[in-house]
Structure 1
Amino acid sequence: MKFVIATPSDRYADACRSVLGDLPGVEVRMGSGPETGWDCDAAILNTPLAHERYGSCPEIEKVQILVNRRNDGVPGIILTVPPTGMDSAVTDPGGAALEEWVLRSMELCVSEFAMAFPERTENAAILVHLEGAGFDNVDIDAPLRGLRRFFDHSQHLLRR
């Protein structure tokens, strides 16, 4: 499996390269979802954005697989980051909680993809657009620690 970590931010891209750049099967790209996910099979998106653009109703604590029929340049399979019921616009979870949330979101989304598409998993490419997934934060270090922990614990998934 390959992962494309993307962002339009120079600062975030530099931080991604610093934290994730040594990992096989992880590529950092700059730009929007359509600009960076052109060769990806799936994209991980935050629930409000995913459901607004691609339909269906969110379910608390559940990853949903949506089909992108919009021909908008974003991959055809959308994996929704499971909503927690916590309003992050009102509540700042803090660095440790944010790191754990990113780690758990990645685990759940990738696991759901693997269960739904076992025949595609080994060669799949998944787009993780930081802003699109909701993994961006003023303190980008916490989300990147969560991503790094996911990749460190999931080495068997990464293409070499």
Structure 2
Amino acid sequence: MKYVIASTSKVDVDKCRAALVGIAGVEYRVGNVPDTWLGCDAAVVWWPLAHEQYGGIPKSGVAQVLFSSLEGDAPEVILATPPGPGGTSGVGPTDPEIEDYTFTSLDESIREYLRLFPGCRDKATILIHLEVAGINRRDMKAPLRGIERFLRVRR
């Protein structure tokens, strides 16, 4: 599986590129989702945004695969991150909580994608747009540790 890590912030993309150097199968892009999703089969989207735009009913702790009917705005397959308990964001304020949230939200989203599309394991390209996936922070150190952990897990 390949990943496109994107952001509207060139500074954040550069931080990702530096922190994730040496990890194969990752491409970096700068821009909004419509500017960065070309060639991607699916996009990870933070659950409130995903369900508001693409439907479905959020379920605490459960990542969901949704489908976009909006041409040109996003890939057809939308990977809604799992909501926290009681429909909360699911992320605490500390660095370890942010790191774990980042890892878990990406991991659960991709596992759900692979459950529904097992034949795509080796050929899919997934967009992880930092702002849209809900994992961008002013200080990117903790999210980057979570992203690195996620990218190093063999699925």
1:65 aligns with 2:65: yes
Q: How has the CA–CA distance of structure 1 residues 87 and 111 changed in structure 2, closer, same or farther, with 3 Å as cutoff? A: closer
Matches within 5 A, 1:4-153: 4-85=4-85, 87-88=88-89, 92-153=92-153
Question: Deviations along 1:5-48, whole A, 9 cap, x unmatched?
Answer: 00010221111111113211011110111111111000000011
For 1:52 and 1:42, how far apart are their aligned partners in 2?
17
Q: How many pairs are equivalent?
A: 154
Partner SS, residue 106 of structure 1: helix
Q: Mind listing any 5+ residue stretches in structure 1 that lack a counterpart? A: none
Mapped partners of 1:21, 1:29: distance in 2: 15
TM-score normalized by structure 1? 0.90
1:100, 1:2 → 2: CA distance? 21
- Where has structure 1 moved over 6 Å in runs of 4 or more? none
Q: 5+ residue gaps in structure 2?
A: none
| Contact kept? 2:47, 2:80, Cα under 8 Å | yes
Secondary structure at 2:132 match in 1: helix
TM-score normalised to structure 2 length: 0.93
**1:73-125 deviation digits (Å, cap 9, x = unpaired):** 31110011101137459x85211100011111111111111110011221000
- SS of corresponding position for 2:27: strand
Cα-Cα RMSD: 1.7
Partner letter of residue 19 of structure 2? V
